[in-house]
Structure 1
Amino acid sequence: MNFELNMSLSDLLLLLPEIVLTVWLCLVLIADFAFPRLPKEQLAYFSIAGLVATLACLAWLDINHVTGALFANMYVLDRMALFFKMFIVGASILVILASIEFVHKFAFFRGEYYFLVVMSALGMMFMASANDLLSLFVTLEFSTFGFYVLVAYLRDDVASNEAGLKFFILGVFAAGLLGYGISLVYGETGKLVFSDMASAQATPGLIIGFLLIFAALGFKIGAVPFHSWIPDTYHGSPTPVTAFLSIAPKGAAFAILLRMFFVALASFKPMWVLLLAATSILSMTYANIVAIAQTNIKRLLAYSGIAQIGNVLIGLAAGTKMSNDAILFYLLTYLFANIGAFAVVIAVSHSIGSEEIDDYSGLNRRSPFLAFSMLLFLLSLAGVPPLAGFIGKLYIFVSAIKEGLYTLITVGLINIVISMYYYLIVVKKMYIAEPHDPAPIAISAPLKAVVYISLAGTLLIGIYPQPFIDWVVSATMMFSHFGTPAATIIPPVSHFGG
């Protein structure tokens, strides 16, 4: 594959957000080493400033409809890539804000923590624009390197060390599957760019290759049966890292999955619908049942996250323009509810030194704000109106009904009932059980800001979803040939009671 490296200013414009974040990443590292006495809180805000500048660049490109491709179509910047880049950067900003108080627990390398978070965000931004198998492999591994270190950042904590080891071993295994799958696909087709594979024949080698690639990406999103790393990794990781892992890499992976299934494998849809439907059913059912037995809030949210991915896979299995819109919208609702829930976990664990669900007893009396916030986040994850999660699930289910996936919808509805049970266990502890310690729980200003932003997103998207629907519809216009656009199917906001 030949391409020239001499780039014009218009080409550099396509890479402007990554250039800005790369420069800022270097400045964060230089500032940490050059000014060792610089308060790490200021370094956190400096990192956030770089992410905000990157977000502004992305918004400008999106508003002005700047799109294009580089390096012989290996890198693409379209509206969908811009959506996922903003999604990743937004999640990174919230995670750094939620980390400011937590970082004091680290005995060493407090400044490097922010560098690693921003570096992982940069890698995931490149993932969102990856349009071929080679850039998929490079960008996925680039984004994962930072997480290998972040997961084990609590050096004196046995659980964190165990989580880091498991995540590293299974991550390397997934990389091996990905590399082998790419070699099979390239050997069968002689192509690397997704769009060039659209006319390929379904040979056994090609099918096995794509199954291996799906397995590697299934590890990234945590779908059953590729989920084994999630409970222990979420449990042992520093809680802000857990929050980051629970949302940002999944968004980047779904950007790849959408391109792979709807571009490279579009002609094989009857085959992959069954694969995705089975994976969705396994993920929802297994995770929701196992979540009932959990006594640790981070493990409960880990299994909840696996079940949420099962819901997203319903949309992927539907395989239409509308379902693509629904996936992006669902991920947006999940971003606010999940990071908000983890922010509450950080605040509670910092105050009482425990992450056990039993220690949430009487939380309403110790901190009405945190208890009410956690209530709304859990209800949104369960899909209760008028919160964002309800609109997200409705969107996903309507797209699947349009394709006649009634069995999948039935299983999904049953699993919503199951999830309500274990979410309400936490609510019961917070509002009915007596507190073990009546002392009030304090919450820092940055962490409170994360909770407020998450509450605003959860309520606003639920009550007035139309602008967000319009955004995701425009972001997936590249898939308009896959069915009726969602904007003509989803009722106006007034029909949702907004």
Structure 2
Amino acid sequence: MENITNNLTYLIPEIIIIALGFIIIGIGIFTRIRNKFILPFASITGLIFTAIYITFFFDIGNIHILSTTDHNQMKDLLIYGGLLKLDSFSLLFKFIFIILGIFVILMSIDYVDKHVNHEGEFYGLIILSIAGMMIMSAANELLTAYIGLELLSFSLYILVSLGNDPEKTNESSIKYILLGGFTSALVLYGISQIYTELIKNDIVNPTFFSSIGLYVSQYESLPPLFMFGLFLLITGLGFKIAAVPFHTWAPDIYEGAPLPIAGYLATASKLAGIALILRIFSEIFEGSHSSLVIIVAILAILTMSLGNITAIAQTKYRRLIAYSGISHMGYILVGLATNTVDSYSAIILHSIGYAFSGLVIFAALICFYNQTYKENINDLSGLYKTNSFLAVSITVALLSTAGLPFFVGFISKFYLFLSAVAQDLLWLVIIALINSLISLYYYLMVIKEMYVNEPNDTQTISTTNIEKLV
């Protein structure tokens, strides 16, 4: 009983988040709150409290988890029989997920007031999805990871449908639910295949990442049944981060979902998928596997190239961001193909930088859309003249996303490509650099639209203090 209580202590952040999510949903359903600020600020207060708790309890409080080793590194803390792992990796991502959630809620306030009919469900489901992300980052075995993935997915299925434009949201939500449900079934079937193969070989705890890693290390050529299960698992994770060939849902869903949720899908949701992929790869594939490198490198090339080339032809900024996001998953796969500690660190840095840059872009576009109701790229014409603050914000975020020098995107890409060169993957880095140049073209086209062209109308676009803060 004491052990269960101790384990619960380490799960207090998740418990707070889940309880907060249901409370916000309940308030939204059973009460009529006319002030648009009450629910979002109640949500943000709870999230800030959780972030502070994580900071002080796991770090400054020094409660068991920061038992330092000779190398001054955090020891892994396994709870509930090893189902969850608390380490510097999971704590970093938990903190980042909460911060991203706060930003998304802040930039949603005016949009929700104008375009969403179910305010409580909107904010509550964002909070519940954060709990799913936190579980994904701390998962130490497949079924726990699946539970976190489903909590995130079910929240997003509903969030995509919450806009007040039935024509757009109904089609998007149905498509997302059907594709998401199908890939979830594939993941579960893949887990069953992996479990079956490990049980046949008398591997203890067959769903644990460490046990799967032990099994993989015993083979030069893995059995077909195991490879099939692994393929299905990777398919599901590829769908979550919108990597080619599992990317087709992203542009349509981004276009039909409420704009803040499109931003959430493009940033926080992808970051959760990346966290889980890193956890699985670092535990299962220690060291370099030639077949793995080739497969992931091919996927990286396809994802980068298709995303960037298709983005050039887009006329709507939602679809442009969707394809740009697909191409960025290609850069993540470059680091994954490298499969070293340095490349994993670079992936984390690049993913977090991309997530925050993406939210800046979406925050500015939400402010623009709230006042103009326009969604085409050429509608941004002359934005610098009508609101220089929004234009500069979008410009800085786009240049960072493109990876230009003096921006965080350049630093993260530099370390990402450097780790690949160190593993003799110069050819892959050259292809990635070419793709970066292609992406710079369509980013500069958007910037040109805002600065060089004349405004389509003379409407002045205002910016609130909250929007400037975000």
TM-score between the two structures when normalised by the length of structure 2:
0.92
- In the other structure, the counterpart of 1:471 is none
- Alignment map for 1:35-114 (pairs within 5 Å): 35-37=31-33, 39-60=35-56, 61-63=58-60, 64=62, 65-66=65-66, 68-106=77-115, 108-114=117-123
Residues 223-238 of structure 1: matches in 2 within 5 Å?
Answer: 223-238=243-258
Counterpart for residue 220 of structure 1 = 240
Identify the residue that residue 328 of structure 1 maps to in structure 2: 348
Counterpart residue number, 1:183: 192
190, 207, 229: which is aligned to 1:209?
229
Superposition pairs for residues 395-414 of structure 1, below 5 Å? 395-414=415-434
SS at match of 2:459: coil
Q: What is the alpha-carbon distance in structure 2 between the residues aligned to residue 161 and residue 33 of structure 1?
A: 21
Contact 1:365-1:435 at 8 Å conserved across structures: yes
Asked if residue 32 in structure 1 is aligned to residue 28 in structure 2, the reply is yes
Q: Do the aligned residues in 1 keep the contact of 2:183 with 2:236 (CA within 8 Å)?
A: yes
**Cα drift, residue 159 of structure 1:** 1.7
- Amino-acid identity (%): 38
Letter paired with 1:372: V
Amino acid at match of 2:466: P
Name the counterpart of 1:198: 213
CA distance in 2, matches of 1:227, 1:29: 31
Partner letter of residue 85 of structure 2?
Answer: V
Q: Is the 8 A contact 1:198 1:267 kept in 2?
A: no
1:454-480 C-alpha deviation (Å, 9 max, x unpaired): xxxxxxxxxxxxxxxxxxxxxxxxxxx
* 2:70 matched residue in structure 1: none
For 2:431 and 2:396, locate their aligned partners in 1 and report how far apart those are by CA, in whole Å: 24
Shift in alpha-carbon separation, 1:154–1:109, aligned structure 2, 3 A:
same
Aligned partner of 2:27: which letter? A
CA distance in 2, matches of 1:72, 1:38: 46
User: Structure 1: how far apart are the matches of 2:353 and 2:300?
Assistant: 19
The answer for unaligned runs of 5 or more in structure 2 is 67-75, 200-205
Which stretch shows the higher mean deviation, 17-26 or 218-227?
A: 17-26
Name the aligned partner's letter for residue 324 of structure 2.
S
**Deviation digits for residues 294-330 of structure 1 (CA, Å, limit 9, x no counterpart):** 0001110110101111111111111111001101111
Q: 1:40 is paired with a residue of what secondary structure?
A: coil
Superposed counterparts of 1:253-292, under 5 Å: 253-266=273-286, 269-292=289-312
Counterpart CA distance in 1 for 2:331 and 2:386 is 34
Q: 1:34 deviation in Å?
A: 5.0
Gaps of 5+ in 1: 451-498
C-alpha deviation, 1:212, in angstroms: 0.8
Q: Given that residues 235 and 299 in structure 1 are in contact (C-alpha distance below 8 angstroms), is that contact kept between their aligned partners in structure 2?
A: yes
Match for 2:150 among 136, 141, 147?
A: 141
Question: What's the offset of the Cα at 1:111?
Answer: 1.7
User: Aligned equivalents of 1:254 and 1:417: distance in 2?
Assistant: 24
Task: Give how far 1:155 is off.
Answer: 4.2
Output the aligned Cα RMSD. 1.6
- Counterpart AA for 1:140: L
What is the rounded CA distance, in whole Å, between the counterparts of 1:133 and 1:447 in structure 2? 40
SS of the residue corresponding to residue 289 of structure 2 reads helix
Q: In structure 1, what is the equivalent of residue 8 of structure 2? A: 12
- Cα 1:149/1:90, change in 2 over 3 Å: same
Provide the rounded CA distance (Å) in 2 between the counterparts of 1:305 and 1:293.
15
**1:398–1:366 distance in 2 versus 1, CA, 3 Å:** same
Distance 1:30 1:59 in 2: 28
CA distance in 2, matches of 1:310, 1:141: 24
Structure 1: how far apart are the matches of 2:115 and 2:381?
Answer: 28
* 2:26/2:120 contact within 8 Å kept: no
Residue 444 of structure 1: how far off its partner (Å)? 2.5
Q: 1:270 offset after TM fit, Å?
A: 2.2
CA offsets, 1:151-183, max 9 Å, x none? Answer: 111243312211111111110111111011101
**In structure 2, C-alpha distance between the alignment counterparts of 1:37 and 1:369, rounded to whole Å:** 32
Q: Aligned partners of 2:287, 2:468: CA distance in 1, in Å?
A: 48
Per-residue deviation, 1:6: 5.8
C-alpha deviation, 1:9, in angstroms = 4.4
Contact 2:364/2:394 (8 A) holds in 1: yes
Aligned residues: 446
Structure 1 segments of 4 or more deviating over 6 A? none
CA drift at 1:337: 0.8
How far is 1:110 from its partner?
1.4
- Aligned with 1:249 (options 250, 253, 269): 269
Residue 154 (str. 1) matches residue 177 (str. 2): no
For residue 328 of structure 1, what is the amino acid of its counterpart? I
Helix, strand or coil at the partner of 2:235: helix
Secondary structure of the 1:37 match is: coil
Q: Which moved more, 1:38-47 or 1:399-408?
A: 38-47
Q: CA deviation at 1:38?
A: 5.3
> Does the residue aligned with 2:192 lie in a helix, a strand or coil?
helix
Deviations 1:7-27 (A, max 9, x none): 354322321211222232233
Cα-to-partner distance string for 1:386-424 (whole Å, 9 max, x where unaligned) = 011111111101111111111110110000110010001
Does the CA-based 8 Å contact 1:101-1:444 persist in structure 2?
no
Q: Find the counterpart in structure 1 of residue 441 from structure 2.
A: 421
Structure 2 counterpart SS, 1:69: strand
2 CA distance for matches of 1:280 and 1:163? 27
- Which residue of structure 1 aligns with residue 203 of structure 2? none
Separation (CA, whole Å) in 2 of partners of 1:338 and 1:221: 14
Whole-angstrom distance in 1 between the partners of 2:197 and 2:122: 42
When the two structures are superposed, what TM-score results if normalisation uses the length of structure 1? 0.87
Distance 1:375 1:109 in 2: 33
Q: Is the 2:267–2:356 Cα contact (8 Å) retained in structure 1?
A: no
1:487 is matched with none
Q: Distance in 2 between matches of 1:107 and 1:85?
A: 28
In the aligned structure 2, how far is the partner of 1:323 from the partner of 1:156?
A: 43
